[in-house]
Amino acid sequence: MVRLLLVGPPGAGKGTQAVRLAETFGIPAISTGDIFRANVRDETPLGIEAKSYMDRGAYVPNELTNALVADRLTHADCVPGFLLDGYPRTLDQVDALDEMLAASNQALDVVVELVADPEVVIERIRLRALEQGRADDTDDVVRARLEVYTAETAPLIDIYARRGILVSVDGIGEVAEVTDRIVSALAERGIGGV
Ligand code: ADP
């Protein structure tokens, strides 16, 4: 069983790496951003509420996000483990996740920080905006997301570092190259793929 978490600024490549790592480890990639976007698309009550926050680059309230993840982690595909992408992002979410996992005698094994320079991520997101047209990939909203990340999520890195489970990996380079770096860093921690 392997429980992983990917953290890093918007545009660091978390989503791309999450899909590849999930495949390697035979675990589901759980992206709160993707789940919110699917709900926005389907105009569910959750989506309608989340959209107002996402459109301005703000975080969706913790209660909503925590409940969503708590439910998702009960699905059968999480039995071999999971890779969380984009959750937790706040101190409140760190506590909530700790409690969810402790309730079934679990804990995170490794937190992978994808390190990427803000200048680089802004350029990447500009490209993604052209390719995918994500509603929150406009320059103003991207700047807001980076600010929220720095204020609310970057401090989480210290918390996991103090727990001794943080691995920082350079997120700049070819996609496959970055995946290899992460897989090697995990192997050094005794976590191997299937
Ligand atoms: P990025 O990492 O590029 O910002 P995501 O797809 O992970 O992209 O997230 C998009 C948006 O979804 C966020 O700006 C936020 O509004 C919402 N969101 C995703 N995950 C969370 C979370 N854990 N807590 C609060 N809001 C979230």
What is the DSSP-derived secondary structure letter of residue 163?
Answer: T
How does residue 193 score in pLDDT terms, banded at 50, 70 and 90? confident
Atom of ligand 1 nearest to the CA of 53: 16
Check if 86 has its Cβ closer than 6 Å to any atom of ligand 1. Answer: yes
Question: pTM value?
Answer: 0.95
Ligand 1 centroid–CA 57 distance in Å is 8
* 78 vs 104: CA distance, rounded Å: 12
Is 145 tagged catalytic? yes
Tell me: the pLDDT tens digits for 137-163? 999 999 999 999 999 999 999 999 999
The percentage of the chain sitting over the pLDDT mark of 70, rounded to a whole number, equals 99
Ligand 1 centroid–CA 178 distance in Å is 22
The mean predicted confidence, pLDDT, of the chain is 96
Tell me: the pLDDT tens digits for 4-29? 999 999 999 999 999 999 999 999 99
Atom of ligand 1 nearest to the CA of 50: 16
How does residue 46 score in pLDDT terms, banded at 50, 70 and 90? very high
The CATH number given to 2-30+82-186 is: 3.40.50.300
Q: Would you state the pLDDT for residue 194?
A: 67
Residue bearing the CA closest to ligand 1, atom 16: 54
Residue bearing the CA closest to ligand 1, atom 18: 33
For residues 98-114, average pLDDT: 97
What residue spans define the domains of the chain?
2-30+82-186
Check if 154 has its Cβ closer than 6 Å to any atom of ligand 1. Answer: no
Is 128 tagged catalytic? yes
Beta bridge partners, 115, equal 170
Cross-sheet strand order for the sheet of 166-170: 29-31, 81-85, 2-7, 110-115, 166-170
Tell me: the pLDDT tens digits for 164-173? 999 999 999 9
Distance set, CA 90 to CA 26, 135, 183 (Å): 27, 23, 26
Cβ–Cβ under 8 Å, residues 64 and 89: no
